[in-house]
Structure 1
Amino acid sequence: MAFVDRTAVARMIDHTLLAPEATVERVEALCAEARDLEVGAVCVSPNQVAAAAAALRGSTVGLASVIGFPSGAHRAEIKAAEAAAAVADGASELDMVVPLGAVVAGDWDEVEAHVRAVREAAPSPAVLKVIVESAALDDAQLDRVCAVAVGAGADYVKTSTGFHSTGGATVDAVRRMRAAVGWDIGVKASGGIRDAATALAMIEAGATRIGASSSAAILDGI
Structure 2
Amino acid sequence: MSESELAKMIDHTLLKPDATKEEIIKLCDEAREFNFASVCVNPCWVETCFNILKDSDVKVCTVIGFPLGANHTNTKLLETETAIADGAEEIDMVINIGQLKSGNYEYVFNEISRIAHLTKNNLALLKVIIETCLLTDEEKIIASIISKEAGADFVKTSTGFSKGGATLFDVSLMKYSVENKIKVKASGGVRVREDALKMIAAGASRIGTSSGVKIIRGESGSAAY
TM-score normalised by L of structure 1: 0.96
What is aligned with 1:168? 165
Q: Percent identity?
A: 43
Of 175, 180, 186, the match for 1:178: 175
CA displacement at 1:122 relative to structure 2: 2.4
For 1:218 and 1:93, locate their aligned partners in 2 and report how far apart those are by CA, in whole Å.
22
Assess if the C-alpha contact under 8 Å between 2:12 and 2:210 holds in 1: yes
What is aligned with 2:8? 11
What is aligned with 2:124? 126
For 1:120 and 1:25, locate their aligned partners in 2 and report how far apart those are by CA, in whole Å.
34
For 1:24 and 1:95, locate their aligned partners in 2 and report how far apart those are by CA, in whole Å.
21
Q: Do structure 1's residue 26 and structure 2's residue 51 form an aligned pair? A: no
What is aligned with 1:210? 207
Q: Which digits, 9 at most, give the CA deviation of each residue in 1:49-98, with x for residues without a partner?
A: 00010111200001101000000010001001100100000000000000
Q: Which digits, 9 at most, give the CA deviation of each residue in 1:78-123, with x for residues without a partner?
A: 0011001000000000000000001111110111121112123322
What is aligned with 2:82? 85
Of 147, 150, 155, the match for 2:148: 150
Look up the equivalent residue of 1:182 and give its one-letter code. Answer: E
For 2:167 and 2:119, locate their aligned partners in 1 and report how far apart those are by CA, in whole Å.
29
For 1:56 and 1:182, locate their aligned partners in 2 and report how far apart those are by CA, in whole Å.
34
Q: Secondary structure at the match of 1:91?
A: coil
What is aligned with 2:184? 187
Assess if the C-alpha contact under 8 Å between 2:148 and 2:181 holds in 1: no
Look up the equivalent residue of 2:74 and give its one-letter code. Answer: E
CA displacement at 1:40 relative to structure 2: 0.6
What is aligned with 1:50? 47
Q: Which digits, 9 at most, give the CA deviation of each residue in 1:148-190, with x for residues without a partner?
A: 111111000000000012x000000000000001223110000
| Superposition RMSD in Å | 1.1
TM-score normalised by L of structure 2: 0.94
Q: Secondary structure at the match of 2:165?
A: coil
Of 92, 109, 112, the match for 1:112: 109
Structure 2 residue runs of 5 or longer lacking an equivalent are: 220-225
Number of residue-to-residue matches in the alignment: 218
Assess if the C-alpha contact under 8 Å between 2:160 and 2:189 holds in 1: yes
Q: Secondary structure at the match of 1:123?
A: helix
Assess if the C-alpha contact under 8 Å between 1:187 and 1:207 holds in 2: yes
For 1:8 and 1:209, locate their aligned partners in 2 and report how far apart those are by CA, in whole Å.
11
